[in-house]
Amino acid sequence: MFLRPCQLLVISCLHVAVYGAVLRNFQVTQPVVVPDDAKQCTIKVLQPPTDCGPLGSWAAITLNLTVTSNGTQYDRLAHFTFQNVEIWRTSTPEPTIGDGIIWTYIKDVSRYTPLFANPGTFILQLDNIVEPGLDGIYSSKMLNVTLPRNTVKVFAELLASGNAEEEFWYFNAANEYLSTLPQDTTYGQGPFRELRLLIDGKIAGAALPYPVIFTGGLNPSLWRPITAYGALDLPTYFLDVTPFVPLLTDGNPHQFTIDVVSAEDDHTILQNWYVSGLLQVITDPSLKPTTGHMTVYDAPLFSQTSTTAVVQPDNVNITVKATRKLHIEANILSGSGEATYVVWKQDLSYSNEQSYIQDAQYQIVTQRASGSNIATHNGVPSVVEIFSYPLYIDLAFSADQTSFTTVVDHSYDRDLLPDPLVVRSKIEMSQITNGFFQVETDGNFANGTSNNTFAYEDLAGNTYTREVDAALNNITFDREGGTLAHTGTTTEGFQSISQVIKYVLGRLPGGNK
Binding site for ligand NAG (CB under 6 A): 10, 12, 15, 18-20, 64, 66, 70-71, 99-100, 104, 106, 142, 144, 253, 255, 310, 317, 355, 364, 432, 436, 447, 449, 451, 469, 471-474, 476-477, 489, 496-498
Find the shortest distance in angstroms from Cβ 291 to ligand NAG.
21
Find the shortest distance in angstroms from Cβ 442 to ligand NAG.
16
Nearer to ligand NAG by Cβ, of 40 and 378: the residue is 40
The amino acid occupying position 132 is P
Find the shortest distance in angstroms from Cβ 368 to ligand NAG.
13
> Nearest 10 degrees: CA dihedral of 13, 18, 24, 29?
20
Nearer to ligand NAG by Cβ, of 344 and 456: the residue is 456
Nearer to ligand NAG by Cβ, of 122 and 436: the residue is 436
Nearer to ligand NAG by Cβ, of 105 and 389: the residue is 105
User: 18 in helix, strand or coil?
Assistant: coil
User: 258 in helix, strand or coil?
Assistant: strand
Find the shortest distance in angstroms from Cβ 6 to ligand NAG.
19
Find the shortest distance in angstroms from Cβ 132 to ligand NAG.
26
Nearer to ligand NAG by Cβ, of 302 and 436: the residue is 436
Find the shortest distance in angstroms from Cβ 420 to ligand NAG.
28
Find the shortest distance in angstroms from Cβ 92 to ligand NAG.
16
> Are 231 and 91 contacting, i.e. CB atoms less than 8 angstroms apart?
yes
Find the shortest distance in angstroms from Cβ 316 to ligand NAG.
8
> Nearest 10 degrees: CA dihedral of 35, 38, 39, 45?
-50
Q: Is the dihedral of CA 423, 34, 426, 276 positive or negative?
A: negative
> Are 362 and 354 contacting, i.e. CB atoms less than 8 angstroms apart?
no
Nearest partner of 508 among 412, 397, 409, judged by Cα: 397
The amino acid occupying position 313 is P
Nearer to ligand NAG by Cβ, of 324 and 410: the residue is 410
Nearer to ligand NAG by Cβ, of 175 and 474: the residue is 474
Measure the CA–CA gap between 151 and 157, rounded to whole angstroms. 17
Helices and strands in the chain: count of H runs, count of E runs: 2, 27
Measure the CA–CA gap between 303 and 272, rounded to whole angstroms. 20
The per-residue DSSP string of 160-197 comes to EEE-GGGTTGGGPPPHHHHTTSPTTSS-SS-S--EEEE
481: which residues sit within 8 A by CB, 6+ positions away?
A: 463, 464, 465, 466
Nearer to ligand NAG by Cβ, of 314 and 338: the residue is 314
Find the shortest distance in angstroms from Cβ 62 to ligand NAG.
8
DSSP 8-state class, residue 52: S
Find the shortest distance in angstroms from Cβ 443 to ligand NAG.
14
Burial annotation 391-404 (CB, 10 A radius, 16+ → b, else e)? bbbbbbbeeeeebb
> Are 154 and 245 contacting, i.e. CB atoms less than 8 angstroms apart?
yes
